[in-house]
Structure 1
Amino acid sequence: MSTALPLAAALLLDAVFGEPRWLWARVPHPAVLMGRAVDTLDRGLNRGGARRLKGLCALLILAAAAWATGWLLSLGGPLAEIASAAILLAQKSLVQHVRAVADALRLSAGDARQAVAMIVSRDCRDMSGPEIARAAIESAAENLSDGVVAPVFWFLLAGLPGLCVYKIVNTADSMIGYRTPRHARFGWAAARCDDLLNLIPARLTALAIAGVARRIADWPAIAADARRHRSPNAGWPEAAIARALDLALAGPRSYDGAMQQLAWVNGDARRQIGADDIDAAVGILWRVWALGLTTLCGLAALTVAVSN
């Protein structure tokens, strides 16, 4: 709990400054460096036989390097920890990307398709307005878990080293954790580890969304929808935000030119959604952020009270 106060400061710092372009135009963002490390190991090890074992070795190398980096940065004291954690949080950048889809959708479907393609991996070329809005809201919910709640959770449990390990695993999963011919075996360890590290944060995110939306009574329905989702974790925040906004999410979508008939989340609810619904989802993102900040401040105050 001693990490609660610097983490609260990091949340505030990220919410105010986000990703300053002047800085990342001059030096590589840590996410870029993590991506380069994953790519280097992918190109160097993902060949020949024993690819699952090689993928596990790659993940262990990445995790060890991330832990060591986090430990070294933490030696710089609270200010270094706060700055590092703020850089690895993604509240403001998430809000900006999701809100950009709503703004673009108010202009034209073409503009909105370009905006939503920045935050989802599905095919966007032929998306209708409601499909664009649905994709943006789903991305908002999933990335609230991956980019904010999970980093906070792992920082609380294991400090800056724990946060760095989570981020490198999440980056590896996003790059090599797919069931493609190239990565089905090599990326297996990254995908399974990411599932494990997000197991609790995804459910906490769903609980937080349901809490701020006053939909805790819908928890059994949220859990039922989440279990029908193809992902063991992403379905939880998606199911919660679907109930919070009274919308139907998920459902059929196209990947690499092939339509996939995925299950609906809250399928009996409204499906004709638009920019105003995206804005409402952004509002929930900020309310969950505020709940997290309040909780961290409470933990910090409790730590001080107990220590005295």
Structure 2
Amino acid sequence: MTLALVLLCALMLDAVLGEPKWLWSRLPHPAVLMGRLIGWLDRTFNTGPAKRAKGTLCLIFAVGCAVITGLVLSALGPLAEVIIAAILLAQRSLSDHVAAVAKGLRRSLPEGRAAVAMIVSRDTSDMDPSQTARAAIESAAENMSDGVIAPAFWFLIGGLPAMLAYKMINTADSMIGYRTPRHHAFGWAAARMDDLVNILPARLTALLIANAAWQWDGAAIRADARLHKSPNAGWPEAAMARALGIALAGPRAYDGTLQDFPWVNEAGRKVLSADDIDASLSILWKAWGMMFTLCVVLAILS
């Protein structure tokens, strides 16, 4: 089987089954195992001098482990590749978590806040309905890139070894890639590498979202994307903001401190509701369908 055909099957399997609770309540998810490795490296080597060098070597070691694991699993055959690739994709899981925010918000504001707290790191206790919906939509757009398009992109480039390497880098960035006193030096390599491996997938995600909504304005999306603190996350968020005609980002609180982030598509509508979350999910599934179609084309051509 070609890589495109394997990915095609994996996309379908993930879309249908997602992440079965009965399985992952009994076994550690691969992302959990990656997190444990990164956590151990952090606790063991993030001490003393030369933290940047140590962090870089630790990242190389972790990515090397991921590549070797990918090579071993690939040797088990196409069926194993399909199953592992499906596990590493997150379209169904992302959709379910974001939909839960809309469902909770329709019941009550506290339920909406509780649901969105499961998928964002910002403070949620004082969010109003618009802020709750906005956080869910931003998470949907960004995680479409990190959790679906980027893993799929790297699988097409280099199969399971490349896909697992990407997931390891992304996990490392989410754990240690912060400009905090503890991780500013040790997590430097993880943060920079995550920026690098997401350059193309983030822009591909923006393209898919924009085309799914027939709202492509490349110059406007590019300008809004540059307002984001991340060189990549702003692209899918900017595309989603334009697709829905809403404003995303803006002020939000972290650890009790309000941070005045600029608005993405500032002229867009700022009063949001659960209906806007539903609309964002519709666009994400259309974008997924475009990625699926691309894999069909590649499978036929190869």
TM-score, normalising length: structure 1: 0.97
Q: Quick one: which amino acid aligns to residue 266 of structure 1?
A: N
Could you tell me how far 1:26 is from its partner in structure 2?
Answer: 1.3
Is 2:277 aligned against 1:270? no
SS of the residue corresponding to residue 122 of structure 1 reads coil
Matches of 1:204 and 1:292, distance apart in 2: 10
Matches of 1:229 and 1:191, distance apart in 2: 15
* Aligned match of 1:133: 133
- 1:122-172, Cα deviation, whole Å (9 max, x unpaired): 111101100000000000000000000000110000110000000000000
* Aligned match of 2:87: 87
Could you tell me how far 1:12 is from its partner in structure 2?
Answer: 0.2
* Aligned match of 1:147: 147
Could you tell me how far 1:2 is from its partner in structure 2?
Answer: 2.9
* Aligned match of 1:198: 198
Matches of 1:51 and 1:258, distance apart in 2: 28
Could you tell me how far 1:25 is from its partner in structure 2?
Answer: 1.3
Query: 1:131-280 residue pairs with structure 2 within 5 A?
Result: 131-216=131-216, 218-280=217-279
Matches of 1:215 and 1:109, distance apart in 2: 31
Instruction: In structure 1, list runs of 5 or more residues that go unmatched.
Output: 304-308
Query: 1:57-72 residue pairs with structure 2 within 5 A?
Result: 57-72=57-72
* Aligned match of 2:73: 73
Matches of 1:302 and 1:212, distance apart in 2: 24
SS of the residue corresponding to residue 228 of structure 1 reads coil
* Aligned match of 2:15: 15
SS of the residue corresponding to residue 254 of structure 1 reads strand
Q: Choose 17-26 or 270-279, whichever is displaced more.
A: 17-26
Point out 4+ residue stretches in structure 1 off by more than 6 angstroms.
Answer: none
SS of the residue corresponding to residue 8 of structure 1 reads helix
Matches of 2:248 and 2:8, distance apart in 1: 32
Matches of 2:191 and 2:60, distance apart in 1: 13
Q: Quick one: which amino acid aligns to residue 60 of structure 1?
A: I
Could you tell me how far 1:252 is from its partner in structure 2?
Answer: 0.6
* Aligned match of 2:40: 40
Could you tell me how far 1:270 is from its partner in structure 2?
Answer: 0.4
SS of the residue corresponding to residue 179 of structure 2 reads coil
Matches of 1:233 and 1:264, distance apart in 2: 16
* Aligned match of 1:306: none
* Aligned match of 2:55: 55
Matches of 2:212 and 2:281, distance apart in 1: 13
Matches of 2:2 and 2:83, distance apart in 1: 17
Query: 1:85-124 residue pairs with structure 2 within 5 A?
Result: 85-124=85-124
Matches of 1:289 and 1:92, distance apart in 2: 10
Could you tell me how far 1:215 is from its partner in structure 2?
Answer: 1.2
Q: Quick one: which amino acid aligns to residue 163 of structure 2?
A: L
Matches of 1:207 and 1:24, distance apart in 2: 33
SS of the residue corresponding to residue 186 of structure 2 reads coil
SS of the residue corresponding to residue 253 of structure 2 reads strand
Instruction: In structure 2, list runs of 5 or more residues that go unmatched.
Output: none
- 1:38-88, Cα deviation, whole Å (9 max, x unpaired): 000000000111000010011001000000000000001110100000000
Q: Quick one: which amino acid aligns to residue 52 of structure 2?
A: R
Matches of 1:180 and 1:107, distance apart in 2: 37
Matches of 1:72 and 1:101, distance apart in 2: 39
SS of the residue corresponding to residue 13 of structure 1 reads helix
User: Identity over the aligned pairs, expressed in percent?
Assistant: 62
TM-score, normalising length: structure 2: 0.99
Matches of 1:258 and 1:192, distance apart in 2: 26
SS of the residue corresponding to residue 211 of structure 1 reads helix
Q: Quick one: which amino acid aligns to residue 218 of structure 2?
A: W
